[in-house]
Amino acid sequence: MSGSEITIDAADGSGGFSAYMATPSGGEGPGVVVIQEIFGVNQVMRDLTDMLAAQGYSAICPDIFWRIEPGIQLTDQTEAEWNRAFELYQAFDVAKGMDDIQATMTAIRGHQACSGTVGAVGFCLGGFLAYLSATRTDCDAAVGYYGVAIENQLDEAANMTKPLMLHIAEEDGFCPKEAQEKIHAGLGANSLVTLHSYTGMDHAFAREGGEHYDANAASTAHARTLEFFSANLG
């Protein structure tokens, strides 16, 4: 299955940004916004978008780094690319990024390939933004994989009205044990939140081809995500 590039107009009138979109073979399904890691809309993100389309979703992965530099596609294979990825991460404006994610949700919700409901799923930086999607956007459900810095925004959970699932890597170098404890303490009792912890897993255990990729953990997390979306997006 292959997708195509579309352009989404920014809500603040500052221009348009690209997004990779893949639709199901039936031509229509619930929408899912795929929120990138710090490496841009690269092949890993495209493959995940295609995977969701193969499962019946109209999936779309927006270029949330476009305000810094459009079209970033890095890998995790070289030190230079890691350095550039962290530069982009440091320069990223979270508030503007959330505006662009909401614009993407609005665009996909109104697209002919979307049956109406819209979810969000994000990885790494995107996992954090998926958490914020549950508190700041009109998405119908959100899933975050090994989100970074969620523990710093737990007060936002008071604004949550739609279900959220978080996949937490217990050995995550970017979300240490203390941060994980804060997340469990802050969100564990929230009836809208489902937390899954993965013993022995490090950050990006679902990034195929990455240093910490674990096929079994990734498969388990993806199955849980698909079941969650099936229950909450229809």
Verdict on whether the full-model pTM lies above 0.75: yes
Marked catalytic residue, from 140, 172, 202, 214: 172
pLDDT digits (tens, 9 = 90+) for 188-206: 999 999 999 999 999 999 9
For residue 120, is pLDDT > 80? Answer: yes
pLDDT digits (tens, 9 = 90+) for 32-57: 999 999 999 999 999 999 999 999 99
The domain in which residue 144 lies consists of: 4-233
Average pLDDT over residues 19-33: 97
pLDDT at 51: 97
Active site residue 212: no
For residue 109, is pLDDT > 80? Answer: yes
The rounded distance, in Å, linking the Cα atoms of 194 and 163 is 8
pLDDT at 2: 65
The rounded distance, in Å, linking the Cα atoms of 228 and 215 is 20
What proportion of the chain, given as a percentage, has pLDDT over 70? 99
Q: Which residue has the tokens 């229509």?
A: 28
18 band by pLDDT with thresholds 50, 70 and 90: very high
Marked catalytic residue, from 76, 99, 140, 203: 203
For residue 167, is pLDDT > 80? Answer: yes
1 band by pLDDT with thresholds 50, 70 and 90: low
Phi, psi dihedral angles at 35 (to 5 degrees):
-105, 125
Question: For residue 78, what is the domain's CATH number?
Answer: 3.40.50.1820
What proportion of the chain, given as a percentage, has pLDDT over 90? 98
**Domains in the chain: how many in total?**
1
3-state helix/strand/coil string of the chain: CCCEEEEEECCCCCCEEEEEEECCCCCCEEEEEEECCCCECCHHHHHHHHHHHHCCCEEEEECCCCCCCCCCECCCCCHHHHHHHHHHHHHCCHHHHHHHHHHHHHHHHCCCCEEEEEEEEEECHHHHHHHHHHHHCCCCEEEEECCCCHHHHHHHHHHCCCCEEEEEECCCCCCCHHHHHHHHHHHCCCCCEEEEEECCCCCCCCCCCCCCCCHHHHHHHHHHHHHHHHHHHC
Average pLDDT over residues 118-138: 98
Active site residue 47: no
Average pLDDT over residues 9-16: 96
Average pLDDT, the chain: 97
Average pLDDT over residues 18-22: 98
